[in-house]
Structure 1
Amino acid sequence: MSLKNLEYLFEPESVAVIGASPRPRSLGALVMQNLLSGGFCGPILPVNPEYNAVAGVLCYPNIASLPLTPELALICTPSATVPEIISELGDRGTKAAVVITDGSDRQADSAGDSLKQAILAAARPYNLRLLGFHSLGLLVPKIGLNASMAHLNALAGEIAFVSQSRAICTAVLDWAKFRRIGFSHFISLGDSVDVNCADVLDYLGSDPGTRAILLYVEAIRSARRFMSAARGAARNKPVLVLKAGRLAEPARAATPHAGTMADVDAVYDAAIRRAGMLRVFDIKELFEAVETLARLRSFRGDRLAILSNGRGPGVMATDSLILGGGQLAELSEETVEKLKAELPVAWSPGHPVDLSAEVDSDRYAKALDILMQAPEIDAILAMHHVPTAIAPSEETAKAIVEAIRSKKSQVLTVWMGAESAMIARVHCIVAGIPTYDTPDEGVRAFLHLVRHRHNQEMLMETPPSIPTEFTPITATARRIVRQALAEGRRMLSEPESKAVLAAYGIPIVETRVAATVEEALRMAEAIGYPVALKIISPEIAHKSEVGGVALNLDNPEVLRLAAETMRSRVAELRPGASIAGFAVQSMIRRPNAYELTVGVSTDIIFGPVILFGQGGKAAEALNDRAVGLPPLNATLADELLSRTRIARLLRENRDRATANLDAIRLTLIEISQLIVDLPEIVELDINPLLADERGVIALDARIAIESATLPGSARLAIRPYPRELEEYVALRSGRKLLIRPIRPEDEPAHYELFEHFSPEDIRFRFFRMVKPFPHSEMARFTQIDYDREMAFIATNADDQNHPETLGVVRAIADPDNQSAEFAIIVRSDLKRQGMGRALLEKMIRYCRDKGIKELVGEILADNVAMLALAKSLGFERHPTEDPDLVAVRLRLWED
């Protein structure tokens, strides 16, 4: 829903318990006991007509008799009573409730409406927020709120835990209490009839008392809402996800063919990565990862050095690193020589750095210091396998702590053993140094850092320009698809599929359709031998499986024989399949080309997803595929490519020339645009897509279609670039400019824009002087979530045909879509030409069309020109507490 009234759920000043009871082990008794023992300072109001008091607190017969309006209500009554209770609470003015009672969509009232529908209908008129059904409740230790049926209270801390499972909540609470881990919030979502994962991410993402968010997720219902909230929260703090149900294989594709279906778990993995979050796979790893991210600063690179006082642990760590996709740092000659000078003669240069058990704590610290100074190393895993008389654990720990403190380097430690190792771990914990029990845990922690940094960079990275601009012939592709739908078909023929690809700039092999063998012979003569021949049948998706493909046919006799054999074979293996004819195509000879596959599958939750990997007949057996969420740009396309095993061969292969990676990236971008423009496409499969140094060419393609109920952009989990909002405007001088939404690729031009601002421009926009923005900050200006924020730029090309940004207006809406705050700035040398008015009018129209109720902003009192522009466009002025600031407000819609 939104953030509306969530503050009453998470920070109430008074709480009522509906169904409070003194009966031992009853739900009402347990909730009252937890609420009273948690230390909550506000009024606690039990409600139950059967009792005068519960747990020594005066009890009220009904909600109407309460002496004050509770901000939060905890409902512990039978599920059938909940809708009426919600109505009574709404009438009384309560703004939030936790439905701890179990409930189910299968339960219905006399009219046949489900409990969920009845409860939501009761709450909606009052904007009353609901947590549950089937919720354990919530705990907010900083205010002493234990509004739950949990068996333990939670310690106070700065980590928020959010779970879709009540059972996982109790396990995590028990696990964390034993390890003295505290929480800012501990939230059991239950069935999420109202408050869901996205709502909570929005709230916690801006909560100053929460430094990290941990999620246990089983399923997501609204992909776009979740992705917007997750991306917003992940920009502010680490968000870690434990996703269950990894092996579930429900039918999620829009078509029955499984060859191009994206694995359910792979789609979730792609979504988590795209949102900038970090995925983990068990509870212990969840808390390990958040502590690692909290204790170590982010770093560039992924080169890990491994230091150990025993060969065995070093080898174990190296195995874990390589198998986990990490990179072992290569020690430079200079680093090796420095180590030789400090270590015993018996030391054998190599990596991992094995110091042997004979090295004392002083030499261990010196070796660590040398590695910390090595530029070829990004992080260090320092391991002490067992204590020895020469190097006791505590003594070594103190030496390591001192060495790290002086260099502030990225070091993770592993102390293997029990009692003596525990003392060493305590020294590291006190010093803020991450420490682990085993080599595998230490390496896993390092890989958490690498993956989290990579996911964050994907949120912040500036994509390069597309190497070749392409202008799709959308009308041609749309005509082919609509014609097939009009004929009642759900599959395009191979020639039709290739024609759609060609309309989007994807090179295809020339293919002609023949109804008969004689016609195929004439076409082969026109194309030129050798040719390939393929059967055309709407019932046959994989032609090679039924002998429906013949290659390298170099004369008419061979072609005729192949066609007749093909018909016989198909009739034998698929007797019910109708044969519409043959596809005749040129025989492509690119012996050094790689066989790739590009596909599209439609997931029930996240909509269209793009698949890329190794192609050919063995594609499914090799299972070398990566999944990505559209829309794609060049950077995201390259990231998708890099997650496959074949990527390394495409980039470097001593036996073949390097493949044209720009052509592969562009193909992925073209496919991404195709599924945005044509929502009727529910599945697509190009296999093989040949790729070599000359580029790419699609040899075979199939497209599945169905009538669309939503526009293409609405199907995507992430709103794509809204090209429909582009428009040209004329300034007073007659100069024409393009006003369009900002794109990530605009970051370089944004830097140039700031170079044209005067100090006064900067002060008017930011209310103070600011230093040049680093990439991480500038990326926030250019990489926006079009569902929540909009920035329009005025742009054109300079004398060298480089795109310039001349001005920008920005508005950020609240999650409720009620209000949006705007800011605007125009290049100093282009003022008084009407550009600012054109930009702000564009933003007003956009916000009004989006249903936003009001547009607000703050303007410095001495910014006379901006105040005049706001007044001329109908903004009202309001004073603020700061006499130097003026608030302006424009009503876009009346309630």
Structure 2
Amino acid sequence: MFKPNSVAVIGATSTPGEPGCVIMENLMSGTFLGPVLPVNETGEAVAGMPGHTAIDTLPLTPDLAIICSPPETIPGYIEELGKRGTRAAVIMSRGFFRFDRERREVQKAALLQAAQRWGVRVLGPNCPGFITPSVGVNASLAPREALPGKVAFLSQSDSLFTSVLDWATSKGIGFSHFIALGDRYDVHFNDVLDYLNGDVNTRAVLLYIETIDSARRFMSAARALARNKPVLVIKAGRSEAAAAAAAAHSGMLLGADEVYDAAFRRAGMLRVADIDAMFDTVETLALAKPLKGDRLAILTNGGSPGFLATDALLQGRGKLAELSDETCQALDNELGRDWSYWNPLIVRSSADGAMYAKALQILLDDRGVDAVLVMHVPTFSMPSDDVAGAVIDVARRSRKPVLTSWLGIDDAAGARRKFAAAGVPSHFTPDNAVRAFLNMVEYRRNQDTLMETPPSLPEAFNPDVTAARMVVNDALEAKRMLLTPAEAHAVLTAYGIPVAETRHVKTPREAVAAAAQIGYPVALKVESPDVPRTSLAGGVALNLASDEEVMDAALSTANNVCDQVPGARMEGYAVQRMCRLAGAHELAVETATDPVFGPIIRFGQGGSMAEVLADRQTALPPLNMGLAQELVSRTRVYRLLRGSGHKAHVNLDAVRLLLCKVSQLIIDIPEIFELEIDPLFVDADGVVALDAHMRIAWSTTTGTDQLAIRPYPRELEECVALRDGRHVDLLPIRPEDEPEHWEFVESLSAEDKRFRFFGNVAKLPRAEMVKLTQIDYDREMAFIAKGPDNDGVMRTLGVVRAMVSTDNSEAEFAVAVRSDLKRQGLGKLLMQKIIRYCKARGTKRIVGAALGDNKSMAELARSVGFIVSKDYDEDIWQLDLPLEDGKGEG
């Protein structure tokens, strides 16, 4: 589609302003060398090219068809193109319905039926097309060409397509691809992201998104891409009004903006506010050295720009680097008293290149500085080009990022050209430079989250899923959507979540007796199925210290609820031990279901101050301890939880573990579509839930299927026996397995490494090991064998993995076993495991390759059903196992 050798334009015309005319002009006026074939009813020539009346009269089969004919004709044209062998089409026709959902679905069904029958991929409709400068293809309605470059721009908006192209061209910004998706009947974000991931000409990807229609496919493709290339995204709809308008415009479901934020962060992408910030930041990410921290030093010859940059940094929650004593002494030695003794470091206005170079080098040598922003205010006495040259010389030798901002227009033009030629990021204003730095910090954090190895759970976690499910099912059978407090507490207890000691009683007298048994002071809460939050209706009394107070509170709270909610049914009272502990913090954890991304988890401040502080952050499950820590750290209350001054630290492990337990709960029991624990008390000893609300409904899908990211597939674990009788566990690999996987790879002999990696490998880079252990279970699988080695030590003994194509038609496998554990049958057990897995997911075939001297791999593959053939030219064994006919020893 994006790099065709030949193009047919269906509906080509010479009528000015019509899509068929604009497309022909754009294709013919560019540098595209392949044939362009106009097709129209009359067969008239267009743009000097002879016309054709039908697809079957074309002199050759086009790689790409651009269709500009009326919508009702398109299914027929798709059918003809498919029969002819064309496999890509762009729909630019006018008349496709976007706002009339019923008519839109009829058009979509007819078009997709024809496309899927013949395997034709369709971009659009309502699509302005695409531009691939590297092959000279301007298959778009844009009035100008795109400059060649290494950045891809992918837009959901047709209106932004031409305006961004015009803006970028005026600034000399080039692209590897410039693509609009239109209404995404067939080709979606994930399809193009996967394509761009494999495109060697694309070094970074920019996205404009309004709505996403398949969260899991999008997240899988985005996470894979973000591991290899910077991905920046603009998402329209930060406000509710804009989001609703975007959803209506695209005909898609409306998702919460905070959830999109969480999704982009989880995928390792960077969200920016506007087009300017997008291009500023992508240039900085592409040119600057990798950022290792978030502390910025500012060097300038003007006080005001330095103060403005400092304000912008701190307002953006950035960190101003603190200069060490050694740095200050070095600056004194080199600059005398011609500096400000502070960060921002202000030198004299007439500072020359040598002074800038000395100050910059000293700042870069400070371990407390992670990056430096260098600014220059034009002066009559010192040409800015000379200062720029000195800064470039230092920046080239540094391993830390150096950003620049040369103020002025004409005076700074030469300096900016020098920075561009030298690959040093340059920005017009201090604000732009600081914004780019803050975006670099956020991008690094997102990448760290994407690539980190999460810690193991601090305690064994074996929930009683059956007990919790029975509670939920009983309530559903009783046709209730709200669990009672007692039921909610029972579910939490089944998942090992501590709950404050509570007794559920029917009458005021029973409440008094329960309070005496628990011990004063106590809290009393009215229980009513008609009042989910009795505290808002005056149904809660706290710090009751005697039998009399409990009796009085039972009567008054019941009266309050009846007054506030007339007709509310009273089922009794909950009597609970007061848990107001010295130094404890009130938190809240809640889950909800987003219409786009499915289940989500929110965490933050709880209790009476929650609404005032509005301190809640959002994450996508599944969570592990590392991801739970990332969620907690984004809240403002986190600073208090870490402890300061006389306040003791709280047990943050307990908080993180509780978030992991809640994550697993909503995966195991998808009928719980809404949960809230508020308040949740935490102190140095751990956590305790005081109140919980759960809403339930019958679910037609599993919890795993509802998630935007597929969780660890525990159901695929199994235990097998080797020939010598020892038992090993076959487990899907997890990020936590990275340390043991290093040891496993190092245990392989030099020959086994060569067989596995098709070459001599000294040590794998960390990025490669991350790819091996942090997999997307929705599109790849790796099973490790864990058990005792020959010395009885529990280790990773072997691994088998399958990379599945995006259409699930083919999986490429690889397998390796510890070099000191051969001839125990483990290789065959692993192969059989991956064959069973691929069969179960409906993959059509498994393929692989082995070096020509790896005869044992060829024999192993043959023993489990593979067709084994030798490519003598490449000296490689080709391994192929069709699965459609039930073949293979799965």
- TM category (shorter chain) comes to over 0.9
Please give the alpha-carbon distance, in whole angstroms, between the structure 2 residues aligned to 1:782 and 1:410.
30
In the alignment, is the contact (CA less than 8 A) between 1:659 and 1:693 conserved in 2?
yes
Please give the alpha-carbon distance, in whole angstroms, between the structure 1 residues aligned to 2:825 and 2:651.
45
Match of 1:493 in 2: 484
In the alignment, is the contact (CA less than 8 A) between 1:310 and 1:357 conserved in 2?
yes
Q: 1:677 aligns with which of 645, 668, 683?
A: 668
Q: Give how far 1:652 is off.
A: 2.5
Inter-CA distance 145–655: structure 2 relative to 1 (3 Å threshold): same
Q: 2:518 aligns with which of 523, 527, 531?
A: 527
What is the total number of aligned residue pairs between the two structures?
Answer: 876
Q: Give how far 1:800 is off.
A: 11
Match of 2:543 in 1: 552
Q: Give how far 1:89 is off.
A: 1.9
Kindly provide the amino acid, as one letter, of the partner of residue 360 in structure 1.
D
Q: 1:140 aligns with which of 118, 132, 137?
A: 132
Q: Give how far 1:28 is off.
A: 1.3
SS at match of 2:607: coil
SS at match of 2:317: coil
Residue 600 (1) aligns with residue 601 (2): no
Q: Give how far 1:390 is off.
A: 3.6
Kindly provide the amino acid, as one letter, of the partner of residue 584 in structure 1.
V
Unaligned runs of 5+ residues in structure 1 are 1-8, 253-261
TM (norm. structure 1) is 0.95
Match of 1:646 in 2: 637
Q: 2:808 aligns with which of 817, 822, 841?
A: 817
Q: Deviations over 1:351-401 (max 9, x none)?
A: 1111131433321221111112222211111111x2113433122112111
Choose 573-582 or 223-232, whichever is displaced more.
573-582
Kindly report which structure 2 residues correspond to 1:223-622, keeping only aligned pairs within 5 A, or say none.
223-248=215-240, 264-384=256-376, 386-622=377-613
Q: 1:750 aligns with which of 741, 765, 768?
A: 741
In the alignment, is the contact (CA less than 8 A) between 1:107 and 1:115 conserved in 2?
no
Residue 114 (1) aligns with residue 106 (2): yes
Inter-CA distance 608–802: structure 2 relative to 1 (3 Å threshold): farther
Q: 1:884 aligns with which of 863, 866, 875?
A: 875
Kindly provide the amino acid, as one letter, of the partner of residue 304 in structure 2.
G
Match of 1:255 in 2: none
In the alignment, is the contact (CA less than 8 A) between 2:677 and 2:689 conserved in 1?
yes
Please give the alpha-carbon distance, in whole angstroms, between the structure 2 residues aligned to 1:864 and 1:142.
43
Match of 1:6 in 2: none
Please give the alpha-carbon distance, in whole angstroms, between the structure 2 residues aligned to 1:800 and 1:873.
30
Match of 1:29 in 2: 21
Unaligned runs of 5+ residues in structure 2 are 245-253
Kindly provide the amino acid, as one letter, of the partner of residue 232 in structure 2.
L
In the alignment, is the contact (CA less than 8 A) between 2:789 and 2:797 conserved in 1?
no
Q: Deviations over 1:547-585 (max 9, x none)?
A: 111011111111111111111111111114222211111
Inter-CA distance 755–646: structure 2 relative to 1 (3 Å threshold): same
Please give the alpha-carbon distance, in whole angstroms, between the structure 2 residues aligned to 1:168 and 1:113.
25
Please give the alpha-carbon distance, in whole angstroms, between the structure 2 residues aligned to 1:894 and 1:321.
63
Match of 1:765 in 2: 756
SS at match of 1:382: strand
In the alignment, is the contact (CA less than 8 A) between 1:853 and 1:894 conserved in 2?
no
Identity of aligned residues (%): 52
Kindly provide the amino acid, as one letter, of the partner of residue 887 in structure 1.
Q
Q: Give how far 1:106 is off.
A: 6.1
Please give the alpha-carbon distance, in whole angstroms, between the structure 1 residues aligned to 2:835 and 2:306.
62
TM (norm. structure 2) is 0.96
Inter-CA distance 363–665: structure 2 relative to 1 (3 Å threshold): same
Q: Give how far 1:619 is off.
A: 0.9
Please give the alpha-carbon distance, in whole angstroms, between the structure 2 residues aligned to 1:52 and 1:596.
72
Inter-CA distance 461–108: structure 2 relative to 1 (3 Å threshold): closer
SS at match of 1:10: coil
In the alignment, is the contact (CA less than 8 A) between 1:311 and 1:356 conserved in 2?
no
Residue 865 (1) aligns with residue 856 (2): yes
Please give the alpha-carbon distance, in whole angstroms, between the structure 1 residues aligned to 2:589 and 2:724.
49
Please give the alpha-carbon distance, in whole angstroms, between the structure 2 residues aligned to 1:803 and 1:274.
32
SS at match of 2:149: strand
Residue 182 (1) aligns with residue 143 (2): no
Kindly provide the amino acid, as one letter, of the partner of residue 745 in structure 1.
E
Q: Give how far 1:658 is off.
A: 0.4
Kindly provide the amino acid, as one letter, of the partner of residue 157 in structure 1.
G
Match of 1:104 in 2: 97
Kindly report which structure 2 residues correspond to 1:841-852, keeping only aligned pairs within 5 A, or say none.
841-852=832-843
SS at match of 1:805: strand
Q: Give how far 1:249 is off.
A: 6.5
Residue 637 (1) aligns with residue 631 (2): no
Choose 775-784 or 343-352, whichever is displaced more.
343-352
Inter-CA distance 516–812: structure 2 relative to 1 (3 Å threshold): same
In the alignment, is the contact (CA less than 8 A) between 2:504 and 2:575 conserved in 1?
yes
Q: Give how far 1:516 is off.
A: 1.6
Please give the alpha-carbon distance, in whole angstroms, between the structure 2 residues aligned to 1:251 and 1:506.
36
Q: Give how far 1:882 is off.
A: 4.3
Inter-CA distance 374–822: structure 2 relative to 1 (3 Å threshold): same
SS at match of 1:436: coil
Q: 1:40 aligns with which of 32, 37, 51?
A: 32
SS at match of 1:671: helix
Match of 2:250 in 1: none
Please give the alpha-carbon distance, in whole angstroms, between the structure 1 residues aligned to 2:242 and 2:733.
38
Inter-CA distance 803–569: structure 2 relative to 1 (3 Å threshold): farther
Q: Give how far 1:152 is off.
A: 1.4
Match of 1:689 in 2: 680
Kindly provide the amino acid, as one letter, of the partner of residue 74 in structure 1.
I
Inter-CA distance 109–626: structure 2 relative to 1 (3 Å threshold): closer
Inter-CA distance 189–837: structure 2 relative to 1 (3 Å threshold): same
In the alignment, is the contact (CA less than 8 A) between 2:237 and 2:243 conserved in 1?
no
In the alignment, is the contact (CA less than 8 A) between 1:17 and 1:73 conserved in 2?
yes
In the alignment, is the contact (CA less than 8 A) between 1:107 and 1:114 conserved in 2?
no
SS at match of 1:215: strand
Please give the alpha-carbon distance, in whole angstroms, between the structure 2 residues aligned to 1:566 and 1:800.
67
Q: Give how far 1:438 is off.
A: 1.3
Inter-CA distance 249–806: structure 2 relative to 1 (3 Å threshold): farther
Kindly provide the amino acid, as one letter, of the partner of residue 589 in structure 2.
V
Please give the alpha-carbon distance, in whole angstroms, between the structure 2 residues aligned to 1:106 and 1:323.
41
What RMSD in Å do the two structures reach over aligned CA positions?
1.9
In the alignment, is the contact (CA less than 8 A) between 1:637 and 1:669 conserved in 2?
yes
In the alignment, is the contact (CA less than 8 A) between 1:361 and 1:392 conserved in 2?
no
In the alignment, is the contact (CA less than 8 A) between 1:47 and 1:62 conserved in 2?
yes
Residue 785 (1) aligns with residue 776 (2): yes
Inter-CA distance 368–621: structure 2 relative to 1 (3 Å threshold): same
Please give the alpha-carbon distance, in whole angstroms, between the structure 2 residues aligned to 1:521 and 1:409.
68
Q: 1:731 aligns with which of 707, 719, 722?
A: 722
Q: Deviations over 1:81-104 (max 9, x none)?
A: 222222222222221111011312
Please give the alpha-carbon distance, in whole angstroms, between the structure 1 residues aligned to 2:241 and 2:612.
18
Please give the alpha-carbon distance, in whole angstroms, between the structure 1 residues aligned to 2:340 and 2:61.
75
List 4+ stretches of structure 1 deviating above 3 A: 105-110, 249-252, 406-409, 797-803
Kindly provide the amino acid, as one letter, of the partner of residue 235 in structure 1.
R
Q: Deviations over 1:110-147 (max 9, x none)?
A: 9x961011101111110111111110011111111111
In the alignment, is the contact (CA less than 8 A) between 1:230 and 1:275 conserved in 2?
yes
